[in-house]
Amino acid sequence: MAKPMTKTQLVAALAEEMDADKKTATAALDAVVSIITREVSGGGAVTLPGVGKIYCRERPERMVRNPATGEQIKKDADKVVKMTIAKALKDSVNG
């Protein structure tokens, strides 16, 4: 598996795609990340066309096992960020 693209590489690719400088691309990327973070942390969802949908889901209180001791413990309810991948992206990856 290939190494994930770093932020620096993403900014460089974004700048090239936008025909802009890296400072503008960094500002655009930071703005998108900020909007997604604010919306999802507030309980909403963000759909990135052609990529997928990012949303927050609540998990109920549940019993989990400590792998070191095998002891069962109760884990409180919490929230987890999920992403559903768009069909277009799945199809492009699978060929």
For the domain bounded by 49-95, which CATH number is listed?
4.10.520.10
Q: Which two tokens stand for residue 61?
A: 């209180």
Model-level pTM?
Answer: 0.79
HSE value, Cβ hemisphere, 13 Å, CA-based, for 54: 15
Residues ≥6 apart with Cβ < 8 Å to 20: none
Whether the CB-CB separation of 14 and 29 falls below 8 Å is answered with: yes
Q: State residue 22's pLDDT score.
A: 95
d(CA 61, CA 41): 20
Q: Structural domain boundaries of the chain? A: 1-42, 49-95
Q: State residue 95's pLDDT score.
A: 82
- pLDDT digits (tens), the chain, 95 positions: 789 999 999 999 999 999 999 999 999 999 999 999 999 999 999 999 999 999 999 999 999 999 999 999 999 999 999 999 999 999 999 98
